[in-house]
Structure 1
Amino acid sequence: QRNHQCMRRNTISFRKKCWGMKLKEDMNPLLLQVFRSVVWVYSVITFLPWYLLSGAGANLDRARRVKARSVSGRPAGPYRATNHEDGSQQKLVSSLHPGVDTLDKVMEHGAARFPERNCLGTREVLSEEDELQPNGKVFKKVILGEYQWMSYEETYQAAVCFGSGLAALGQRPQCNIAIFCETRAEWMIAAQACFIYNFPLVTLYSTLGGAAIAHGLNETEITHIITSKDLLHSRLKDILLEVPRLQHIIVVDSKPTSWPGFPRGIMVHNMDAVQELVAVARRRPVPSDIAVIMYTSGSTGIPKGVMISHSNIIAGVTGMAERIPDLDETDTYIGYLPLAHVLELSAEMVCISHGCCIGYSSPQTLADQSTKIKKGSKGDTSVLKPTLMAAVPEIMDRIYKNVMTKVEEMSSVQRTLFVLAYNYKMEQITKGYKTPLCDSLVFRKVRSLLGGHMRVLLSGGAPLSAATQRFMNICLCCPVGQGYGLTETCGAGTISEMWDYSTGRVGAPLICSEITLKDWEEGGYYSTDKPHPRGEIVIGGPNVTMGYYKNEVKNREDFFVDSNGQRWFCTGDIGEFHPDGCLKIIDRKKDLVKLQAGEYVSLGKVEAMLKNCPFVDNICAYANSDQSYVIGFVVPNQKQLMALAEQRGLRGSWEEICNNPDMERDVLHIITEAALSAKLERFEIPRKIRLSAEPWTPETGLVTDAFKLKRKELKSHYQEDIERMYGGK
């Protein structure tokens, strides 16, 4: 009984931490009053000179201004961004620099303006060793050196030589070539080579399964593929016989090696050797030429190839760049997301267009605490000290939960000082004020997790919870611009402005796009809804892509051209526009399930509400239309669950703890409490759950590279559990 009460107290403490706007202040009242008095005196003394010098009033005005308006005056839209200066309606913009209308010209522009500046950086591996973990598993740990840089001129020349070498190997203009490789400098050099020589680049996620890889290569009739040594041996080699047209494999690793055991008719080359082949004249692309055929991550089935023209990407990059204040050649960007993802490719093209440095990383080496970094050595952010970063919510959720767990473990005085500073800063930033003293004394260590110099953090790929966004704004001391876009729109739809500290919204339309709301009768969403117009989000503009490769049925379903010749894409996402012109994503058509009694459940909404619970690392809500309740699959937080098991006197391996029915009941109780605090309806709350000892990573095939749930694969994976939880077994 005592253990259960202890568990309940911990649950309530965590719930307040997760769901409350403010954190609880637990401290001696006298000491608390002294601290508040010091803060008040400091604020009074510094306010007037700081306010006059900082321009806080202007920032607050910008945050409150109307950022988009309906062109037609109707609540359905279309909505376009407004001008910063006078609030007038923006015309859609499709080009960043005069005359730079294709991607090869972006690289040329960068090399001409910033020839000696650092362009692409990579850390050398100094040593590797195997490290035995407490659970018996062996992890490979690395010690990495400083970043080694290629200048803009060197990068451009390397791309020209590689493109010429590919042409010498028989690659022809406007014939597809594939890249299947991890995020690294060679990926970008290869991409620039393809842009320069007008080879449409087929991108495939490095975590796709064999069947999906073969499908993409065969559908696009690939004869040449660019890959890495690791992926060649671990993923490609087994499917080569399923790709009959393939003739040339180019391996980006620099060390020459022999390639025995490949099927007859396939030649394997090193990137360096290809760059040294005889020079071949280039044929420039035009804006309407296909630059990339980007295969989606396959969250809803077989990956689809999205045809993206040079002009599409240029327009998307233009829209994104406009939302990053003071972007210039002094910025440093850290690249670690898959370059086969439109968010990462677009972000890096934004950087190249402005002469920024791009240092490459990976999720396993990103920070000092990352899984592949040897204890005591430096992660990539500590060495690079980036100012710009794109992130998916999964990464930010991990940072948020880790820091909040450490706060929970602090002494009462330390914890309350942190919470007081957190609450104080939250109040200040909503007024447009800065808090240099709090940033320096309290949040410096948290900020150092990403190198200590971060000034803009872009979030995309999936919805970012309000709690995590608020935490990142406060503790990392930099604005988080939450964006919304899809592969079909070059990742460009909306991005929140950097001085807008509201949470749970994705900002106003970018200057390259406009958005209209389409009524969805089945879901009950209409543009005439009060207080906010709601409906399916439909994006139009020069960033809307050319459609799906060899898939006219889906093209007719999802794309259309209006009477003015503008392309539009129907996203399937449901949104609402607020009075200031900012968009909020509230639902997804494919995530809506009607229960047996007629209630509609948005699975995505349930997951978003529960994912910030400290006991939940990941969750998938599931419902059958012939059943009356929701169930869930939960990847629990190992540290929290093992601590809870110890409180209950339970012993065993991680798998045994997760399979224990008592633990399932306890976690279900915690999740139910969290759901009620988040004001979910009773019918939306999972009634039964299954704890999964196995984390969901792209390698398992249960989530995409952006960590979106693959519902079809998850359903197949947990089919027996579904039948059990619904009473079948």
Structure 2
Amino acid sequence: MQIKEDINPVLLYILHFFMWLYGVITFVPWFLLSGARERQRRAERIKAKPLSEDPISPFRSVDSFQSLASSLYPGCDTLDKVFKHATDLFTDKGCLGTREVLSEEDEIQPNGKVFKKVILGKYNWMTYNEAYLAASHFGSGLAALGQKPRSNIAIFCETRAEWIISAQACFMYNFPLVTLYATLGGPAIAHGLTETEVTHIITSKELLQSKLKKILPQVPLLRHIILVDGSTSQQSDYPNNITVHSMASVQALGLRQANQHRSSPMAHDIAVIMYTSGSTGIPKGVMISHRNIISGITGMAQRIPDLGDKDTYIGYLPLAHVLELSAELVCLSRGCGVGYSSPQTLSDQSTKIKKGSKGDASELQPTLMAAVPEIMDRIYKNVMSKVGTMSAVQKGLFSLAYNYKMKQISRGYSTPLCDRVVFWKVRKLLGGKLRVLLSGGAPLSAATQRFMNICFCCPVGQGYGLTETCGAGTITEMWDYSTGRVGAPLVCCEIKLKNWEEGGYFNTDKPYPRGEILIGGPNVTMGYYKNDLKTKEDFCVDENGQRWFSTGDIGEFHPDGCLKIIDRKKDLVKLQAGEYVSLGKVEAALKNLPIVDNICAYANSDQSYVIGFIVPNQKELLKMAEQKRVLGSFESLCNNATMEKEVLRVLTESPAAATLEKFEIPAKIRLVAEPWTPETGLVTDAFKLKRKELKSHYQEDIERMYGGK
């Protein structure tokens, strides 16, 4: 992506000359002293290669070509041993940080809506030793309340320090932890709790009142509710067979009976039953052993250079998602501090932060962060929107610096002067000290990845993995500044491509082998809880005893051993005339247009064209309406046929549409005023589209656009 330089040609020429002169004077000493040559060598090296010349042969990292890695520390084959090892190494180091709430107030918006705003103080930290003791006492208390080893216990809670303390307690006492997203609806929560037959659940006061309380009659085996932030006061409107406890009271009980009921886990024991976010229907519980998770975090830790006790990670994504859980376990295994946040308090501009006060990233100043593409796309669009309001000179300087840095980093060079003079304000949005930003959960567009690389002045890597592989599969190396790829296989696993004839993908394709991605290794999980049929469908064991998972994603391997995700089997639709359309490809191509906040492409096999549902950017739509002299609120504009046609014209004539075949471009669209959030049930917690739910939600519009109504 090039940014247009909107500046006086003479001034532009002078600036180009001075930048050229600066580069000439500083290049040689910088190149010799900065390690650029070594970074270039690492970026260009072969990162993975096939075990043999057979097209079906798996690719394996060159760093683990002889054997797959499966343990972080010698003798630490279960998660409780890993945490104890880290506690012994980093006893008094800050482990878990929580921000103090100084005040809360209601703020009335111009449209009459009331938003709750908070002013937050400093982070208060538990040391590794304090966190270990808190987890040990909590596990002991749960055992005293009747929780048995190898019997499931559920956690239904927002991301916070108490979540990870509860998880470590369960790992210590061999209680398989059932994780449920805080945004799940009642039927999905009841399904997970009933299927796993839990008697104890850990939750928060808010989730108990808003969601859990309503479905208690559907969970007859439940006996104990432990609140991470509430009192033990029993309310009369709970069923008689249920007792409510506070986390503090359970820890106090455990302190009195420390270690009396402890039963340490084995490597093959289930550590977590993680319910997927259910993008294709009812959530499935993935059984993950201690060995699986340790293998996965071993691979991840190896791919992040110099990971250690000087790092601080900001945790705000759902801990019930494998990306966040794995990231935090990696950090805690290496002595990092983990400071907690939420999407509503992450930055100074976040929705719950009172204007003029600091968001969590500004206060914490993290060095490590994980994000999903949806969040990174929002940051990209917000920054570019602000650039659009700059004066011509400011915009021109920003564009000049952006394009200059893009050329430099594509060659493996850094730009310290541009970073300090131009991009420091953007960098400060996330605290100013980020050294690694990792994207996962869905493919990240090349434009957004390049933008984040440039403006946040740190490597932005993509990772690829699934719940069924403990989130581990690939991560791009930090010195690899290519875009659109997800990196080479981690040292804990190997990847092979299986022919998919229907889609026309073959592992013998030239120049790049293509096919369905299969991941194998010790990080591949045990299967789906109480679902043998689906387990046999998606998992298999080869002649060497290694487990493999069929991902349903289509990938291609590049000559350096890096993988690129190019399609998804479930996203492929055959149109009436026989053309195949990849819905994900259409969405990826159009999503970064300024007018588009979110998009879902849809096609019926008995129809000849694609349609689309678009959540438009409010500011851009209002600007477009003003140009077209169409009056009305944002909601009314979304229902205006003239605006639908105008947005469709912008989409069709955009450079992004030129990357698509004519039959792939949506022929009709529906503008949607309501944003798609996990709370609406139309996207997962990782903001992946729930196509089935979206189809049901907009069924009338689908029929209208296809001429049925």
Same fold per TM (> 0.5)? yes
Q: How does 1:483-522 map to 2 (within 5 A)?
A: 483-522=463-502
Q: How does 1:328-727 map to 2 (within 5 A)?
A: 328-674=308-654, 677-727=657-707
Aligned equivalents of 2:521, 2:10: Cα separation in 1: 59
The range that moved more, 352-361 or 130-139, is 130-139
- Tell me the CA shift for residue 547 of structure 1: 0.2
What letter is aligned with 1:275?
A: Q
1:247 counterpart = 2:223 = yes
Which residue is equivalent to 1:238?
A: 214
Aligned to 1:319, which of 292, 296, 299?
299
What letter is aligned with 2:148?
A: R
Which residue is equivalent to 2:189?
A: 213
Q: Does the CA-based 8 Å contact 2:231-2:245 persist in structure 1? A: no
Q: TM-score, normalised by structure 2?
A: 0.98
Q: Does the CA-based 8 Å contact 1:106-1:353 persist in structure 2? A: yes
Aligned to 2:286, which of 294, 306, 311?
306
- Tell me the CA shift for residue 497 of structure 1: 0.3
Secondary structure, counterpart of 1:276 in structure 2: helix
- Tell me the CA shift for residue 678 of structure 1: 4.2
- Tell me the CA shift for residue 124 of structure 1: 1.3
Secondary structure, counterpart of 2:659 in structure 1: coil
Distance 1:50 1:571, change over 3 A: same
Which residue is equivalent to 1:179?
A: 155
Aligned to 1:101, which of 77, 85, 101?
77
Aligned to 1:292, which of 250, 260, 272?
272
Per-residue CA deviation, residues 530-574 of structure 1 (Å, 9 max, x unaligned), is: 110000000000000000001011111100001111000000000
Per-residue CA deviation, residues 285-324 of structure 1 (Å, 9 max, x unaligned), is: 0100000000000000000000000000000000000110
What letter is aligned with 1:359?
A: G
Q: How does 1:54-203 map to 2 (within 5 A)?
A: 54-83=34-63, 89-203=65-179
Aligned equivalents of 2:645, 2:198: Cα separation in 1: 52
Aligned equivalents of 1:130, 1:75: Cα separation in 2: 62
Secondary structure, counterpart of 2:374 in structure 1: helix
Secondary structure, counterpart of 2:53 in structure 1: coil
What RMSD, in angstroms, separates the aligned Cα atoms of the two structures?
Answer: 1.0
What letter is aligned with 1:264?
A: N
What letter is aligned with 2:197?
A: E
Per-residue CA deviation, residues 473-503 of structure 1 (Å, 9 max, x unaligned), is: 0000000110100000000000000000000
Per-residue CA deviation, residues 318-376 of structure 1 (Å, 9 max, x unaligned), is: 00001101111000000000000000000000001000000000000000000000000
Per-residue CA deviation, residues 102-159 of structure 1 (Å, 9 max, x unaligned), is: 1111211111111100000001111111111122211111011100110000000000
What letter is aligned with 2:348?
A: D
Distance 1:650 1:615, change over 3 A: same
Secondary structure, counterpart of 2:623 in structure 1: helix
Q: TM-score, normalised by structure 1?
A: 0.96
- Tell me the CA shift for residue 672 of structure 1: 1.1
Secondary structure, counterpart of 1:450 in structure 2: coil
Q: Does the CA-based 8 Å contact 2:651-2:657 persist in structure 1? A: no
Aligned equivalents of 2:653, 2:632: Cα separation in 1: 27
1:263 counterpart = 2:239 = yes
What letter is aligned with 1:569?
A: F
Q: Does the CA-based 8 Å contact 1:78-1:517 persist in structure 2? A: yes
- Tell me the CA shift for residue 90 of structure 1: 4.6
- Tell me the CA shift for residue 26 of structure 1: 2.2
Q: Does the CA-based 8 Å contact 2:601-2:611 persist in structure 1? A: yes
Q: Does the CA-based 8 Å contact 1:306-1:548 persist in structure 2? A: yes
Q: Does the CA-based 8 Å contact 2:599-2:615 persist in structure 1? A: yes
Distance 1:676 1:292, change over 3 A: closer
Structure 1 unaligned blocks of 5 or more: 1-20
Which residue is equivalent to 1:10?
A: none
Aligned equivalents of 1:302, 1:73: Cα separation in 2: 41
Per-residue CA deviation, residues 656-713 of structure 1 (Å, 9 max, x unaligned), is: 1111111111111111122655410000000101111000000000000000000000
Secondary structure, counterpart of 1:146 in structure 2: strand
Secondary structure, counterpart of 1:123 in structure 2: strand
Aligned equivalents of 2:656, 2:421: Cα separation in 1: 36
Percent identity, aligned pairs only? 74
Aligned equivalents of 2:234, 2:427: Cα separation in 1: 46
What letter is aligned with 2:652?
A: T
- Tell me the CA shift for residue 226 of structure 1: 0.3
Aligned equivalents of 1:151, 1:212: Cα separation in 2: 36
Q: Does the CA-based 8 Å contact 1:560-1:567 persist in structure 2? A: yes
Aligned equivalents of 2:342, 2:490: Cα separation in 1: 29
- Tell me the CA shift for residue 655 of structure 1: 1.0
Q: Does the CA-based 8 Å contact 1:369-1:379 persist in structure 2? A: yes
- Tell me the CA shift for residue 76 of structure 1: 3.3
Distance 1:486 1:23, change over 3 A: same
Aligned equivalents of 1:134, 1:601: Cα separation in 2: 43
What letter is aligned with 2:326?
A: S
Q: Does the CA-based 8 Å contact 2:138-2:251 persist in structure 1? A: yes
Aligned equivalents of 2:67, 2:39: Cα separation in 1: 24
The range that moved more, 648-657 or 287-296, is 648-657
Aligned equivalents of 2:306, 2:126: Cα separation in 1: 24
Aligned equivalents of 2:107, 2:633: Cα separation in 1: 20
The range that moved more, 699-708 or 405-414, is 405-414
Q: Does the CA-based 8 Å contact 1:177-1:201 persist in structure 2? A: yes
Which residue is equivalent to 1:276?
A: 252
The number of residues matched between the two structures is 705
Secondary structure, counterpart of 2:165 in structure 1: helix
Q: Does the CA-based 8 Å contact 2:362-2:428 persist in structure 1? A: yes
Aligned equivalents of 1:613, 1:716: Cα separation in 2: 26
Q: Does the CA-based 8 Å contact 2:226-2:246 persist in structure 1? A: yes
What letter is aligned with 1:193?
A: A
Aligned equivalents of 1:504, 1:678: Cα separation in 2: 18
Per-residue CA deviation, residues 20-52 of structure 1 (Å, 9 max, x unaligned), is: x21112221111110000001100111111111
Secondary structure, counterpart of 2:703 in structure 1: helix
What letter is aligned with 2:562?
A: C
